[in-house]
Structure 1
């Protein structure tokens, strides 16, 4: 059993699914908290929940998923900028996609949020793997 866990952990795709799931929970949890108890409009809640999830995702992707090592703080900042730029692309999909699903397709807000999360998670993996953390040493 321990060998299976080690084998799964050594696969960056499995690590991405696990930490991507945690990132999704951060995103959905913040969305629910901001629009529910805090009473913030769902569009604004969506924007801030995505921004918080992006910061969380950078840390876990860098440290655990792609295990990227930076030689300097400047290298880390460079990775962060590339990461955020990549995530801004998918953030546009999510920030635009949720209202589209809610207002035009008449879907419940949380269903719309979940649907866009699936698309965004897949695209983000490829952005992170091939554009942001591509220089990692194997």
Structure 2
């Protein structure tokens, strides 16, 4: 049991998923907290995303991919760029699958737009998570 636990906490993919869940929680708590003091939902969403991206960078840099301290500013720029790229992909898929061509998924769920959105969101998020992992592993956090 101890060996299995040790393997899990040293598995890069498991650590990446844990860091992702933590970043999501940071986003939610930040967004909810800021909304109590800032009345603009767009500003609050932007700030919460910025905080979550910085937190995700820190956890990925330090704990998941275990990088040296040197070179972190360059990795941060690459990390933010990759997250913007996958955000654009997410938005494109939302537009394509929910707004422009909802019938592609709708034909399987009786054209219920809420289900179309849920399925498109799930598909998009799985794709974004996988793409973010590979971008991080191959282009951002390359030094061990």
- TM beyond 0.5: yes
- Separation (CA, whole Å) in 2 of partners of 1:47 and 1:84: 13
Deviation at 1:17, TM superposition (A): 0.8
Contact 1:83 1:128 in 2 (8 A): yes
Deviation at 1:131, TM superposition (A): 0.9
Deviation at 1:134, TM superposition (A): 1.8
Q: Who is 1:80 aligned against?
A: 76
CA RMSD of aligned residues (A): 3.5
Alignment gaps of 5+ in structure 2: 103-112
Q: When the two structures are aligned, how many residues end up with a matched partner?
A: 129
Alignment gaps of 5+ in structure 1: none
Residues 46-103 of structure 1: CA distance to partner in whole angstroms, max 9, x if unpaired? 3322211110001000110111114x3xx11111111111111123345x369859x9
Q: Who is 1:124 aligned against?
A: 132
Q: How does 1:103-114 map to 2 (within 5 A)?
A: 104=99, 107=114
Q: What is the TM-score when the length of structure 1 is the normalising length? A: 0.71
- Separation (CA, whole Å) in 1 of partners of 2:127 and 2:8: 23
Q: What is the TM-score when the length of structure 2 is the normalising length? A: 0.69
